[in-house]
Amino acid sequence: MADHICPWWMGYLLANPLRRLLENPERLFGRFVQEGMTAVDYGCGMGFFTLPLARMVGPAGKVIAVDLQQKMLDGMQKRAGRTGLSDRIEPVLVNRGESGINEPVDFVAALHVVHELPDAKAFFSQMVAIMKQGARLLMVEPGFHVTEEEFRDSLNTASTTGLKMTDEQIAYRGRAAVLEFPGA
């Protein structure tokens, strides 16, 4: 996997509402996220997926929005404030190699991020450490950027950490998989 970080200024492009035509967060998460859940948006950027997740978990739920760049988190928090969702989102600034999460979670969104990590196995291990039994991890990677072989390698790496691939299909143009933590 590469050791690349999306530049913070790209966050504005990635948060564009027109993106919903290609990647509809409610369609991606609808089967997995319910009110009252604790969800993680790992590599949240400016919150394109974070805000819909916050709506879906409702007032009793929470979204932990994790990013390496404070400017991304600042942009996400401004957007959350304008939509009245700030109280459902916990921003977490991390350093490379850290998860920044210290509580059990029901769902992890790893969207367009695994290919940017220097150590995918460490990431999946960190996610397994916080996932509740039966929790799901949705991994989505851009097909134009991640080859089928690279995606399979990521799935194989995930399986070495205790995550199991489900047979659930995701309507997505790139590469997507639903992984489950069956528990100890």
pTM greater than 0.85 (yes/no) = yes
For 77-131, the pLDDT digits (tens) are 999 999 999 999 999 998 877 777 889 999 999 998 898 888 999 999 999 999 9
Residues linked to residue 175 through DSSP beta bridges, in sequence order: 141
Per the prediction, the chain carries an average pLDDT of 87
Distance CA 177, CA 162 (A): 15
Question: Class of the 10-180 domain?
Answer: alpha beta
